[in-house]
Structure 1
Amino acid sequence: MHSLAMIFGILLVLGVVLDAFQTIILPRRPAGRFRITSLFYIVTWTPWAALARRISDDKQREQFYSIYGPLSLLLLLVVWAFLLINGFAFIYFALGSPFNDAMMTQFRGMRFEIWTDLYVSGTTLFTLGLGDVVPRLPVARAVIIFESGVGLGLVALVVGYLPVLYGAFSHREVSVALLDARAGSPPTAAELLSRHGFDGGDEALVILLAEWERWAAELLESHVSYPILCYYRSQHDNQSWLSALVAILDACALLIASQLPDAAHRVPTRQAQLTFAMARHAIVDLGHIFKLDPKIKLLAATPQDRLAPNDFRRLCAALRPTEIQLCGDPDSADRLSQLRAMYEPNAQALGHYLGLNMPLWITEPRKTDQWRRVANLRSTPHQPNATQSHISSNSTAATLHPGDHDH
């Protein structure tokens, strides 16, 4: 029995240390199906998402979803600490509970020895150093020293892990927030392209797509290394990293699929191809992270059309001022369909798993859209009322008549 306890304890400690190394330190996606972190998120996320889907109010549901990311991080640390305490307790038990415990001298039996082993393991892991339980064997002292080092290392990893995690989250959300004025909220491809239909808009669009190409690469690097970031929600209910990424993919697909009238408009298409490739790479790899391949294959076989015929006609009408020729060209429509099939199943599978809504291709403009309010003020200059003046009636200038200055 003691031999089994020793083997189990060593495997438990090594499993936690390896899992913490792969989750926090290893910069690439770890392999293996039986990782503690993966099992933890499978066990906790499935019931959490099921409860969230039962909430009918959109704001309350998003609030419930938003709690999971930070809470799961704390719970994961608790799980690691709990498993380490039990793993070292099994090792102490396998050594015959070699401790002088003044409190337990009046008690005899295996269950009291186990409580002493758990107490020693807990106080050692958290480096309390109370000294009320003294080891009798040299090997027990060596294990205690090793466990205290593991405890210090766990604390150091947590202290270093949190700033990196929240730094990546904050960096991700800055670009998502900036897209609000450029593509609406929630963002749509039609709004993004129509708001760049001004003189010099092509150059601005190239700069924007280049920024999102880099953003997608940074998203791929950070979220593959730290998949927990995918559970972190944006600060606003109508924004999310996934809807922003899909809106950019939609806009790139429209630019690639459409027929542009002259060579001057081919520059956005080139950048659109680069951004599309990088953004699709990110969304495909994140689907692999959460093992959504069966769901993706099912959606690819029975696609859920995000662009109904009526919406397609509205999209063509909205893009007409931008000189993007989409309707009336069968080749463009066919190219758009092929491009959508390359990323929409992956995006829909991720959205269903994470509880994030897919953006529409085109929506009715919202009355509360701040960008449109500012644009309308700019495009319709205020005409001053002839009966009103910013000059006070008591002002000398207001009472002067033509010719008064001659006197």
Structure 2
Amino acid sequence: MNWFLTAGGFLLTSLGVWETFMAVLHPRATVGPITKVINRGFHFLVRTRTFAHPRVLVHCGPVLIVTQVLCWATLLLIGISLIAWPQLGTGITATGSNPTNTDFASAVYYSGFTITTLGVGDLVPRTPAMQFLTITAAGLGFSFFTLVLAYVISVYSTLARRNQFANEIEYRTGRTGDSLGYLRAYLSDSDPSLVNQDLYTLSSNMAELLESHHFYPVLHYFRFSEPWYAMSRMLRFCLEVSSMMRAARQVDSSKPAASPEAVDRLWHASMQMLEGTKRHFVICHSTHDEPDPRLAIEISRSIGNSDELSSQLKAAFVDQQSAWLHDLNALAVCTRSEALRDS
């Protein structure tokens, strides 16, 4: 029985260390099984009617981080407690002449003050094995709290950069979230140098956003009451801009065009971000997947295209749009943070 408890405690401790270290030190490689279950379960929970209220959803990210940290800490605490429990009264005893309690609560108490490095001292290790366990548990506890602090700081600093990017997009659209004004200015301008520079900036920011969400999938669950902070809204702007520019390049190559490299970089970075969201997040079902050519129609009217060019631009834009429309609308349904345009 003692060996069974020790083996189980070792496995739980190893799992807790694995979950914590992978989430903080090597997050790009993998997500621990417990963390993955928590993320998926949390996602389905907040989609229920009880928890789907906007005032509840804005607390998703912080609550998920607290839940993750508590689960990691519980695995570490219970694991070390199971190792120490069989040793109470022999390898670990009370100081002085006091009798040693041998219940599981005492094992949790001993493990708790060891992991937190409080060092209460009313229970002390007597054998070399338990002394080694105490030192190891204290080292793991100190490392755990250090890593959790680094994890929280990293997540919130990345979130601040994401929100800054969202605000920059909001300013580019005149605080409307509509890419029409941005595109109209580009297509009617004979000098594409400024828009080239801006496209490179957008693609660089989107690539940084992509990598940060690969590192910390919990960022997907941070939602805000302000609609311009929605990931779906940021992606919609970037994908509409790059899709329209790619379509315009196909239709009328005689017009001064933005750099194909700059446009394609924004397109591929945005598509990777959307694809990465599908892998690290649960995409919902969307029923709003009909192509929406209104943007191409409005652009054609504003720059005075002929009927033939307007039809060609509309067809080219719809073709580009079909590559991302379903997944983007599904993301909007998942996060409940952006109303679909057709709803």
- Shorter chain as denominator, the TM-score bin is 0.7 to 0.9
Distance in 2, Cα, partners of 1:184 & 1:104:
76
Query: Could you tell me which of 92, 97, 119 is aligned with 1:99?
Result: 92
Task: Tell me if the contact between 1:316 and 1:327 (Cα under 8 Å) persists in the aligned partners.
Answer: no
Q: Post-superposition shift, 1:30? A: 0.4
In structure 2, the partner of 1:113 is 103
Specify the alignment match of 1:304 in structure 2: 289
Which secondary structure does the structure 2 equivalent of 1:267 belong to?
A: coil
Match of 1:72 in 2: 64
Is the 1:260–1:323 contact (alpha carbons within 8 Å) kept by the matching residues of 2? no
**Is the CA contact 1:69–1:228 (under 8 Å) kept in the aligned structure 2?**
yes
Letter in 1 for 2:144: L
Displacement of 1:291 after TM fit?
5.3
**Structure 2 counterpart of 1:340:** 321
2:46 to 42, 45, 48: 48
Aligned-residue offset at 1:189: 2.5
CA–CA distance in structure 2, aligned partners of residues 359 and 198 of structure 1: 28
Which residue of structure 1 lines up, in the alignment, with residue 35 of structure 2?
A: 37
Q: 1:54 Cα deviation (Å)?
A: 4.8
Gaps of 5+ in 2: none
TM-score scaled by length of structure 2? 0.87
Residue 320 of structure 1: how far off its partner (Å):
2.6
What is the CA-CA distance between 1:24 and the residue it aligns to? 0.9
Unmatched 5+ stretches in structure 1:
56-60, 362-407
Partner of 1:207: 197
The 5-angstrom pairing of residues 124-143 of structure 1 reads: 124-143=114-133
- Identical-pair percentage: 19
Q: How far 1:36 moved relative to its partner?
A: 1.5
Aligned 1:341-356 pairs, distance under 5 A:
341-356=322-337
Deviation at 1:329, TM superposition (A): 4.9
- Count of residue correspondences: 341
**Letter of the aligned partner of 2:290 in structure 1?**
D
8 Å contact kept, 1:246–1:359: no
**Which of residues 162, 182, 190 is equivalent to 1:192?**
182
What aligned pairs does 1:188-337 form with structure 2 within 5 A after superposition? 188-196=178-186, 199=189, 202-234=192-224, 236-258=226-248, 261=252, 263-267=254-258, 269-290=260-281, 292=283, 304-305=289-290, 307=292, 312-313=293-294, 315-322=296-303, 329-337=310-318
Amino acid paired to 1:206: N
Q: CA offset at residue 324 of structure 1?
A: 6.7
> How big is each residue's C-alpha offset from its partner over 1:233-276, in whole Å with a ceiling of 9 and x where there is no partner?
34723432321122110121111113565645222555222211
In structure 2, the CA distance between the partners of 1:323 and 1:271, relative to structure 1 (3 Å rule), is farther
Query: Counterpart of 2:4?
Result: 4
TM-align CA RMSD: 3.1
Are residues 210 and 314 of structure 1, via their aligned partners in 2, closer, same or farther at CA, if it must alter by over 3 Å? closer
CA contact (8 A) 2:94 2:100 kept: no
CA contact (8 A) 1:284 1:343 kept: no
SS at match of 2:229: coil
Q: Deviations over 1:80-117 (max 9, x none)?
A: 11221100011112445632236995687xxx421211
Residues 1:203 and 1:168: Cα distance change in structure 2 (over 3 Å)? same
Distance change in 2, residues 1:40/1:254 (3 Å): same
Kindly indicate whether the alpha-carbon contact (under 8 Å) linking 2:200 and 2:262 is maintained by their aligned counterparts in 1: yes
Rg comparison, structure with higher value: 1
Deviations 1:24-43 (CA, angstroms, capped at 9, x unpaired): 11151406xx6111112223
Between the aligned partners of 2:269 and 2:94, the Cα distance in structure 1 is 61
Output the CA distance in 1 between the equivalents of 2:51 and 2:44: 11
